[in-house]
Amino acid sequence: MYILDASGYLYRSYFAIRQMTNAKGESTNALFGFIRSVSKLIKEFKPTHLVAVFDGPRNIAKRTALYADYKAHRREMPKDLLYQILWAQQFCQLMGIPELMVPEVEADDTMGSVAQWSMTIGATAYLCTSDKDMCQLVNEKILVLNPFKENQILTVDGVREQFGVYPHQMVDYLAITGDASDNVPGLTGFGPKTAADLLTRFETLDHLLANPTAVSGKKKQETLIEEKDKVLLSRQLVTIDKNVPIPKEEAFFRLGEPVIGSLREFYNQMNFSSLLRELDSYTLTQPKPESSASTEKLQYHLIDDEESLDQLIQFLSQQSEICIDTETTDIHPLRAHLVGIGLGVKLQEAWYVPTNGKLGLKYVLEKLKPLLENPQIGFYGHHFKYDYHVLLNHHIQVANISFDTMLASYLLNSHSRQHSLDHLSLELFDKVKISIQELIGKGKNQIKMDQVAIDKVCEYCCEDVDYTIRLKEVLAPRLEERGLTHLLNELELPLLPVLARMERHGIYVDVDYLHYLSTELSVEIQALEEEIYEAVGERFNLNSPKQLSQILFQKLGIRPPRKTATGLSTSAEVLESLKHEYPIAGKILDYRSLEKLRSTYVESLPAEVHPNTHRIHCNFNQSVTATGRLSCQDPNLQNIPVRTEVGRKIREAFRPQKKGWSYLAADYSQIELRLLAHLSEDPVLIQAFLSNEDVHTFTASQIFNVPLEEVTREQRYQAKTVNFGTMYGQGAFGLAQLLGIDARTASNFIQMYFQRYHKVKEFLDRSKELTRQTGKAVTLSGRERLIPEIRSQNAGIRATAERFAINAPIQGTQADLIKMAMLTIDRQLREQKKKAYMILQIHDELLFEVPDEEVEEVSELVHQAMVEVITLKVPLIVDMHVGKNWKEC
């Protein structure tokens, strides 16, 4: 009999897992942790009898009648935990798990009663809990299973080993020590070791209380005499009631069968994508009912002879739109070799043309090239940029990209990072697709797609095509309903080939220079290590958070700002807050920064160089960030710092590959602050930009009430921090940490800022309220970020959502503007047949590789496109820089 402390699981998960919500913005952290723990238990122990026990309503009434202060110090249950308990009960019903919730009874008492009864029918009971109170019940037939300590099982000897007393002594032990979490008083000054020693000697609390003078120490003797009634009361409070009325039929406790369809729906509602994927791993005792997908009449065709291919091309040439999916040997498109092409035009039917079959690569591509390059036919896919690259590798350029289901999903749900075909098929169609691992395996045994049997690749590829077609049928109308179709057609789809061109051009990096820089950085890092060791007086592993924590907070006696579940944190945030008072924290931050730059860039970048082009070809993602910004990976070149000397040295490694070429960098100046001025219509802020003032100096003069020319460097820095902090919804605490000042001074800064820029304050409040009403934040171009969490009953989640509501319209608009500028620049460079090309986008900056003879004309072209992309109430300023490497820009 497995008896689950359901309430304990939920409370533990609620505080261990943070910031988890469903599509409605409701907290799901406790529920997710509960499901994970219960599923793990079922998977590992395969129980036949199981019951989830919850605290009943008014569950502490009996004990508060004995002691009014029982659990009195506990805060009221968080509002967003209450409804998760109801969901947990719903989950139990769907999983076939029996549940008990007895009114006016705590879960401990119900669990104890079930365990006691189970002994009478000859069962062994496992109390699944981390609550030490339950150890009083342990005997040969009742054991405690702590699922949070690697399934630690406590037997009679295990209890003795852990607490120093036997299970039958645990009630007396708990009465003596008390329990701070339940506000059980115990004996003053008697800790766990004292309690264990005394019970070893006196056996029982009654015997101890009858012989107080036999205890050494006058103070302890007095306590035993004076607090006798208190400790006896404590014993009553900690004693598990084993006589709670419960069902006493073995059948009640049998684990039932999961209701798979309803579970899928439940997980979907909660946004539990990982749990959705795991549903099929449950072992069911009855056959799984067939889904609608498995009863469909699918027509997946393998095309591997000349006649069939000719007929297919003839049919497809008459279509207005075709779905494509390529199968290749590599996830990196520029290293991928084509294995086959999937094609489709309607649901439940698709064709697969292998390039490694009877017809061969050359023949297939010669036949398909005119079809795929036909501008009268629209082509689409899921993450179509990959397929676009692969076809370009074989000199096929798709002229008409009509849709992309990944980009459509992203535009509809940019707050989610789950836009894969597998995930969306599961979420929208309850379809578990063939996994790539089924075909190529994983780890050491993984093979390439061209080694897989063609008929298996055919089924896999056709399924991808089929479900991409299904996705388009669902997502296209949703885009139309939400007014987002124009963003897909006029911005994201046209940007796709622009990004592909940037990725194909790549960027040259001087590998020899990086090797030299690696040696130089190693010397710097070693010197910094020695400084830190000298400052603390011993050597230790600087990369070990545990050892570092011991050095800082135990040896050096630094007062820790906060504690985490795993101990005293040494995170960057913590060290930043300490560095003004403790220089050692600053040195550790410097060490980490240098070490990260060395490992992430200096030593890793040479491995990213393509063997044929001798350039780095990173990947720009259109469907990752919630605000609409592009992200960059493999490698991420958007994160190389420009404000540190080491960052600038790394940038020096990037230079044009050809002689007689230069880099041109075009950077929007204070674009987000200018957008804040435009959106808020604040007259003071607008005037600062119209007068071409340094806005940070201007803000400092406003806050500190001094003339512009008298603003100090420190005042400008503080004003700059306030300017940018405002856009991110930063409060006094965050500002105080950044500036190294007290919270009251930071609060005064913010107050003065809003007094001067009162329209900004109105805009921020309006943004939050509008998002609260609509559940979304919207950019100037209509891009949406859904923020349902703004209505959350959890204050932490709600505060984060309010920051998103403020920042999304500003950062999202900035992202849209630079994308528009990129489209214009790319088109004009090609129309004017310039040799120059765009190679990088770093949020508000564009980088170009330009022949020296074109620098002047291209600079003018780029500048004009960027400043004229939109008309605001303040001018857009673009800083232009030319150099022989990225650092010089």
For 642-666, what is the mean pLDDT? 94
Query: Hey, what's the torsion of the CAs at 814, 819, 821, 822, to 10 degrees?
Result: 140
d(CA 483, CA 464): 27
Of 735 and 821, the one with more pLDDT: 821
Lowest-pLDDT range of 495-509, 579-593, 717-731 = 717-731
Does residue 823 register a pLDDT over 80?
yes
Helix (H) or strand (E) holding 663: strand 661-668
Residue 289 has pLDDT above 80, yes or no: no
DSSP string, 537-570: TS---TT-HHHHHIIIIIIS-PPPS-EETTEE--
Q: What percentage of residues in the chain have a pLDDT greater than 70?
A: 98
Q: Give the pLDDT of residue 750.
A: 87
Pairing verdict, β 401-404 and 338-346: unpaired
Element (H, E) at 424: helix 421-429
Mean pLDDT value of segment 300-314:
97
Place 280 in a pLDDT band, splitting at 50, 70 and 90. Answer: low
Q: Which residue has the higher pLDDT, 423 or 826?
A: 826
Contact (Cβ atoms closer than 8 angstroms) between residue 127 and residue 111: yes
Residue 216 makes CB contacts below 8 A (sequence gap 6+) with none
Query: What is the mean predicted confidence (pLDDT) over 853-881?
Result: 97
Residue 286 predicted with pLDDT over 80: no
pLDDT per position as a tens digit, 368-421? 999 999 999 999 999 999 999 999 999 999 999 999 999 999 999 998 888 999
Phi, psi of 708 (to 5 degrees): -50, -45
Angle at which helices 29-45 and 79-95 pack, to 10 degrees? Answer: 30
Of the candidates 253, 256, 257, the residue with the CA atom closest to the CA atom of residue 121:
253
Strands (E), 375-439: 378-381, 401-404
- How far is CA 711 from each of CA 701, 717, 735, rounded to the nearest angstrom? 6, 10, 20
Instruction: In whole angstroms, give the CA distance from residue 47 to residue 40.
Output: 11
The pLDDT of residue 461 is: 97
| Residue 284 pLDDT level (bands cut at 50, 70, 90) | very low
What value does the mean pLDDT take over residues 821-827?
A: 98
pLDDT given at position 573: 81
Taking the CB of residue 341, how many other CB atoms lie within 10 A of it?
Answer: 25
Q: Which of 163-167, 702-706, 725-729 has the lowest mean pLDDT?
A: 725-729
Q: Are 882 and 860 in contact (CB under 8 A)?
A: no
3-state SS class at 799: helix
User: 567 falls in which pLDDT band (50, 70, 90)?
Assistant: low
> Cα–chain-centroid distance for residue 569?
20
What mean pLDDT comes out for the span 473-494? 97
Q: What is the pLDDT of residues 781-810, one digit of tens each?
A: 999 999 988 988 888 888 889 999 999 999
Cα–Cα distance for residue pair 672/696, rounded to 1 Å: 13
Between 129-138, 285-294, 480-489, 563-572, the lowest mean confidence (pLDDT) is in 285-294
Number of H helices, E strands in the chain: 36, 24
Q: How confident is the model at residue 563 (pLDDT cuts 50, 70, 90)?
A: low
Q: How would you class 524 by CB atoms within 10 Å of its CB: exposed for 0-12, middle for 13-18, buried for 19 or more?
A: middle
All residues at 6 or more sequence positions from 655 whose CB lies less than 8 Å from its CB, including other chains: 508, 510, 663, 884, 885, 886
Question: How many angstroms separate the CA atoms of 796 and 788, rounded?
Answer: 14
**Residue 286 or 593, more confident:** 593
pLDDT at 291: 44
Amino acid making up residue 432 = V
Query: Is residue 878 very low, low, confident or very high in pLDDT (cuts 50, 70, 90)?
Result: very high
Whole-Å CA distances, 366 to 317, 474, 863: 15, 34, 42
Find the helix or strand (DSSP H, E) in which 849 lies.
strand 845-851
Which residue, among 332, 388, 862, has the nearest Cα to 616 in the 3D structure?
Answer: 332
> Higher confidence at residue 426 or residue 452?
452
- What pTM, to 2 d.p., does this model score? 0.82
Q: 98-137 pLDDT, tens per residue?
A: 999 999 999 999 999 999 999 999 999 999 999 999 999 9
Three-state secondary-structure class, residue 598: helix
∠ at Cα 500 (498, 501), nearest 5°?
65
pLDDT at 45: 92
Exposed / middle / buried, residue 478 (Cβ in 10 Å: 0-12, 13-18, 19+)? middle
**What does DSSP say about strands 321-328 and 378-381: parallel, antiparallel, or unpaired?**
parallel
Q: Determine the pLDDT at residue 669.
A: 93
Q: What is the mean pLDDT of the chain?
A: 91
Tell me the domains of the chain and their CATH numbers.
2-164+241-253 (3.40.50.1010), 299-482 (3.30.420.10)
Higher pLDDT, residue 216 or 340: 340
pLDDT at 629 over 90: yes
pLDDT in tens, 28-46: 999 999 999 999 999 899 9
Confidence band for 295, pLDDT divided at 50, 70 and 90? low
pLDDT of residue 407: 98
pLDDT for the residue numbered 271: 87
Of residues 484 and 798, more confidence is placed in 484
* Residue 551: alpha-carbon gap to chain centroid: 31
| Residues 482-492: b if buried by 16+ CB within 10 A, e if exposed | eebbebbeebb
> Higher confidence at residue 668 or residue 756?
668
pLDDT of residue 281: 46
Per residue in 733-788, pLDDT (tens digit) is 888 877 878 888 888 888 888 888 999 999 999 999 999 999 999 999 999 999 98
Instruction: Indicate the SS3 state at residue 254.
Output: strand
For range 859-867, the mean pLDDT: 98
Q: Cβ-count burial of 426 within 10 angstroms (0-12 exposed, 13-18 middle, 19+ buried)? A: buried
CA-CA-CA-CA torsion for 425, 426, 428, 431, nearest 10 degrees? 70
Residue 827 corresponds to which tokens in the numbers above?
């088109």
pLDDT value at 83 more than 50: yes
Paired with 428 in beta bridges are: none
Q: What is the mean pLDDT of residues 214-221?
A: 88
> If pLDDT is split at 50, 70 and 90, which confidence band does 19 have?
confident
The percentage of the chain sitting over the pLDDT mark of 90, rounded to a whole number, equals: 70
Cα–Cα distance, 332 to 336 (Å, whole number): 6
SS3 of 321, please? strand
Cα–Cα distance for residue pair 509/96, rounded to 1 Å: 59
> Considering just the CA atoms, what is the radius of gyration of the chain in Å?
33
Range 289-317 average pLDDT: 84
Vertex 664 angle, CA 660 and 668, to 5°: 175
- Which residue would you say has higher pLDDT here, 349 or 567? 349
C-alpha dist (Å) from residue 477 to 377, 408, 423:
21, 10, 20
Beta bridge partners of 3: 51, 127
Please compute, for residue 787, the number of CA atoms within 13 A of its CA located in the half-sphere on the CB side: 30
**What separation, in Å, do the N-terminal and C-terminal C-alpha atoms of the chain show?**
70
Name residue 422's amino acid: D
Which pair of structure tokens corresponds to residue 568? Answer: 């005293």
pLDDT at 554: 87
Comparing 128 with 23, the larger pLDDT belongs to 128
The full DSSP string for 719-747 is: HHHHHHHHHTT--HHHHHHHHT--HHHHH
